[in-house]
Amino acid sequence: MAHIATRTGDLEKDPRIGFQNTTPGSSRKSKSSRFAHLTAFCAAIFLTAITVQKLWAFVDVSNFKTPISKVAVCPSATPITPVTHSSLLQDLEAEYATEEFQTHVYATLSGAVQIPTEMFDDIGEPGQDPRWDVFADFHSYIDSRFPLIHKNLRRTKVKTYGLVYQWQGSNTDIKPILFTAHQDVVPVEPSTVQDWINPPYSGYWDGKWIWGRGSCDDKVDLMGSLTTIEKLLEKGFKPQRTIVLAFGIDEERGGNVGAKSIRDYLLATFGENGFAMLIDEGGNMEATSDGMLASPGVAEKGYFDLRMSVSADGGHSSVPPKHTSIGILAALIAQLEANPHTPHIFRHQAFYTTLQCQALIDTNMDDELRTLISKSQHSDKALVDLEKKLFAIDGMAEALSKTTQAVDIIHGGVKSNALPENAFAIVNHRIAQHSSVSAVKTHLAEILSPLAEKFNLTFDAFGDGLNATSGVPSSGLLRLAEAWDSALEPAPVTPWIDNPAFDFVAGTIQTVARTSKRWNNTNLPVAVAPGIMSGNTDTKHYWKLTKNIFRYRHVSRFDKYNGAHTVNEAILAEAFIDLIRFFTFTILNADETTLLA
């Protein structure tokens, strides 16, 4: 039995809002009225074209880089509720609402958090590095906490600690569904332990929050899916559709051991495109007094780490050259930061659709911004104006709309009185959906080559050969190279237009959100928009398993006390119940839907 600590009293979070921007002095009543009129107008259009499931705007964008023929304004989704399994669902919903069930599952997540499955960049192979041993303890905990799963599901261990569970369905003519999560967590920086409200591996439940590393990223998904299946087994449910759970072990360092091996196992077992869909951690649901907006991630940025190194002659620091290798490296870094990648919004991409949905849902949005979002459907000028205004007020929107770069590591020199012969920096890039690894390399070479000439350096850009920059003897070498075999193209985009699988996920989200006991007004509008992930999950290894990859966790940003990978990671306990409900509805709906293959 997991140990769970409790205390009375609530700890309130100061929520951080995204790009919502309330104009001072604006009338909330007036905005609500305009929103009501707009909603009524959209409903009228829907009723007039009852056979059309989505609203489209047809625009001429021939002068844009990527011409398109249609743009989703905001996809509609019909709520999906189990019919055949309706009695079972009612029984489960009643049990999920009990104090006994909630106390039990809070203890389940608490116990999982108490096992510090930290992942390190320099960890060795499983079986060779003792830092892996804690994963064995985690497996023992899972076995003890979920005895019916341990007894009834086929469990396969991949690469020693990767876990795959298979719940075989009775109908082999339909494709399985796949839920993924990861067992590992980001290490806690020892110097920050005193900054935690509750110890980072306490799993402490204070009556409101469950505290600790992994409570949000990602043991909440892992325990949520296991809890759901354990409860379905207890109720005697026997699925028609096979359900597979896959839990990686090193997602926090790229999944190169766990997810890669799990991918190979699943491909060998189920074949390419062998799954109807995959759901992993990712986008959230945002809930306000005006409505709810869920954003399952259908796209994921690419990745590239640049190693930028400068080599120069050494010597005594008492007789320095005009610029040392470190000084040159500093100039190169300044050049990069002065020339960032340009952000753009494209009508055919997921982020643009999210903006359209948010404009419909969020009545507190700045009026000018809302107008630009609407006009941009048909006006190129409005689209450019939208970019300017949005990027000026919302850093996240800008980051999602471009390739980002961040100088994260720098090293040079060994002694204060010795000239540094080598200096290097690592620059992390998250590649925009409309870009590529090749485009990033070209940008870097073009931006930095003038400085190579300025400092009279021989220039080697990604192995293209050594290029002397002048007729005089070179003062050193500037080399651009890929670090750590890191290059990853942007992920294939899961279609959200005319894709039954997206309709299935969106319809399930609609029902779970509307029936949540946490939201009193179930008549609030609920929109489901395709999202894009700024980072990468284990799904970067799973592209061949299915064309329908959805990165989604059914919680809101306000359900997390703090962001992942930092101090005071905590999840709102009642949000964990809604996440279990999401897994429950998804499994039961998938068992009887015709929207999945």
What mean pLDDT comes out for the span 476-497?
A: 96
* 534 domain residue, yes or no: yes
Q: What are phi and psi of 527, to 5 degrees?
A: -115, 145
* 230 domain residue, yes or no: yes
Confidence (pLDDT) at 331: 98
Give the tokens for residue 305: 């780490």
pLDDT tens profile 38-95: 444 444 333 333 332 332 232 222 323 333 333 457 888 899 999 999 999 999 999 9
Residues 6+ apart with CB under 8 A from 499: 548
Residues 281 and 158 in one domain: yes
Domain of 323, CATH number, reads 3.30.70.360
Higher pLDDT pick, 73 / 491: 491
Residues 254 and 283 in one domain: yes
Residues 188 and 50 in one domain: no
CB 74 within 8 A of CB 353: yes
Give the residues across from 286 on adjacent strands: 293
Residues 177 and 287 in one domain: yes
* 502 domain residue, yes or no: yes
* 206 domain residue, yes or no: yes
* 597 domain residue, yes or no: no
Residues 476 and 512 in one domain: no
Confidence (pLDDT) at 32: 43
Residues 6+ apart with CB under 8 A from 124: none
The β-bridge relationship of strands 531-533 and 177-182 is unpaired
Confidence (pLDDT) at 55: 28
Residues 469 and 501 in one domain: no
Averaged pLDDT of the chain:
88
Helix, coil or strand: residue 267: helix
CB 153 within 8 A of CB 229: yes
Confidence (pLDDT) at 473: 67
Selection from 261, 263, 278 nearest residue 161 by Cα = 261
Residues 376 and 472 in one domain: yes
Confidence (pLDDT) at 363: 84
Q: What are phi and psi of 265, to 5 degrees?
A: -65, -45
pLDDT at 192 over 90: yes
pLDDT at 24 over 90: no
Provide DSSP, 312-324. Answer: E---BTTS--SS-
What mean pLDDT comes out for the span 371-375?
A: 96
pLDDT tens profile 585-594: 999 999 999 9
* 562 domain residue, yes or no: yes
* 529 domain residue, yes or no: yes
Confidence (pLDDT) at 9: 34
- Which of the residues 206, 221, 251, 366 is marked catalytic? 251
pLDDT tens profile 495-548: 999 999 999 999 999 999 999 988 765 678 889 999 999 889 999 999 999 999
Look up 184 and say whether it is catalytic: yes
* 434 domain residue, yes or no: yes
| Number of compact structural domains in the chain | 3
Give the tokens for residue 17: 């809002």
Domain of 166, CATH number, reads 3.40.630.10
- Give the whole-angstrom CA distance, residue 594 versus residue 276: 11
Residues 325 and 283 in one domain: no
Judged by average pLDDT, the poorest of 28-42, 81-95, 183-197, 477-491 is 28-42
Give the tokens for residue 563: 């962001």
CA angle 292, 298, 301 (to 5 degrees): 115
What mean pLDDT comes out for the span 559-580?
A: 94
15, 44, 72 — which closes off a domain?
Answer: 72
Judged by average pLDDT, the poorest of 60-69, 221-230, 411-420 is 60-69
Residues 349 and 252 in one domain: no
Confidence (pLDDT) at 175: 98
Residues 6+ apart with CB under 8 A from 332: 308, 310, 425, 448, 451, 478
Confidence (pLDDT) at 56: 28
482, 504, 522 — which closes off a domain?
Answer: 482
Confidence (pLDDT) at 200: 97
Burial class for 574, CB neighbours closer than 10 Å (0-12, 13-18, 19+): middle
Give the tokens for residue 113: 């958090």
Residues 307 and 423 in one domain: yes
- Give the whole-angstrom CA distance, residue 266 versus residue 147: 24
What mean pLDDT comes out for the span 236-252?
A: 98
Q: List residues forming the annotated binding site for Zn(2+).
A: 182, 217, 252, 280, 565
Question: 64 lies in which domain range?
Answer: 32-72
Judged by average pLDDT, the poorest of 40-44, 162-166, 252-256, 531-535 is 40-44
What mean pLDDT comes out for the span 165-176?
A: 98
Higher pLDDT pick, 545 / 3: 545
- Give the whole-angstrom CA distance, residue 538 versus residue 257: 11
Residues 269 and 292 in one domain: yes
pLDDT tens profile 290-322: 889 999 999 999 999 999 999 999 999 999 999
Higher pLDDT pick, 68 / 568: 568
- Which of the residues 184, 206, 218, 366 is marked catalytic? 184
Confidence (pLDDT) at 413: 96
Look up 195 and say whether it is catalytic: no
Confidence (pLDDT) at 86: 98
Computed from CA positions of residues 130, 135, 136, 137, in that sequence, does the dihedral angle turn out positive or negative? positive
Confidence (pLDDT) at 64: 31
Q: List residues forming the annotated binding site.
A: 182, 217, 252, 280, 565
State the helix-helix crossing angle for 380-393 and 367-375, rounded to 10 degrees: 140
Taking CB atoms within 8 Å and a gap of at least 24, the contacts of 7-12 are 7/206, 7/207, 8/207, 9/206, 9/207, 10/206, 10/207, 10/208, 11/197, 11/206, 11/208, 11/209, 11/561
What mean pLDDT comes out for the span 546-561?
A: 96
482, 501, 532 — which closes off a domain?
Answer: 482
Confidence (pLDDT) at 521: 58
pLDDT at 163 over 50: yes
Residues 292 and 324 in one domain: no
